[in-house]
Amino acid sequence: MKRRVKYRWLSPDGYIHLGMSDGRIVAEHRHVWECAYGAIPDGHQIHHRDGNRANNRLENLVPLLPGHHKREHVQHWTGPGGEWWKRCTKCGRAAPEDDFPTKRYVDGVRKTRGNCHECERARLRAKKGLPAEGNSHRNFGRFIGPRDSVSGA
């Protein structure tokens, strides 16, 4: 027995819901994705690429793990030159999106990380077990003048 869609409505939360012939109610974006690809992978959420929860065209939908999904929803706004700006999820500094490190390319479109270059560098250093930048070891090996000039007279 194949389920049919009986009702379709826009919910106050911006999602379109479907009333199915078997009496169940499903979110349209989940239904559209599952009709095309089968069951949604465990623990994944369906994300709307363009941010419009009612745009349930297949190419607008992508399954993401909750952690990655949250990143896609980092606040964006338009800067003075019409460019996209966003805020670093780590330090809160705002910058044009082009200034954020590259995360990956999707269909030739550059996707950026949620954290800025500095935070990304700090993250990678911490991962490698290196001390944070800007600490007391900074001047090691740097010529700071003849010995006499330091001790003074």
Q: Which residues bind Zn ion (CB under 5 A)?
A: 47, 88, 90-91, 116, 119
Nearer residue to Zn ion within complex by CB, 18 or 61: 61
Report the nearest approach of Zn ion to the CB of residue 69 (Å). 5
Report the nearest approach of Zn ion to the CB of residue 144 (Å). 31
- Rounded to 10 degrees, what is the CA torsion of 120, 94, 106, 29? 120
Nearer residue to Zn ion within complex by CB, 18 or 86: 86
Give the chain as a DSSP string.
Answer: ----EEEEEE-TTS-EEEEETTS-EEEHHHHHHHHHHSSPPTT-EEEETTS-TT---GGGEEEE-HHHHHHHT--EEE-TTS-EEEE-TTT--EEEGGGSPEEEEETTEEEE-SS-HHHHHHHHHHHTTPPPTTSGGGGTT-----HHHHH--
Report the nearest approach of Zn ion to the CB of residue 152 (Å). 41
Report the nearest approach of Zn ion to the CB of residue 96 (Å). 14
Beta bridge partners of 94: 87
Nearer residue to Zn ion within complex by CB, 18 or 46: 46
Report the nearest approach of Zn ion to the CB of residue 41 (Å). 15
Nearer residue to Zn ion within complex by CB, 7 or 54: 54
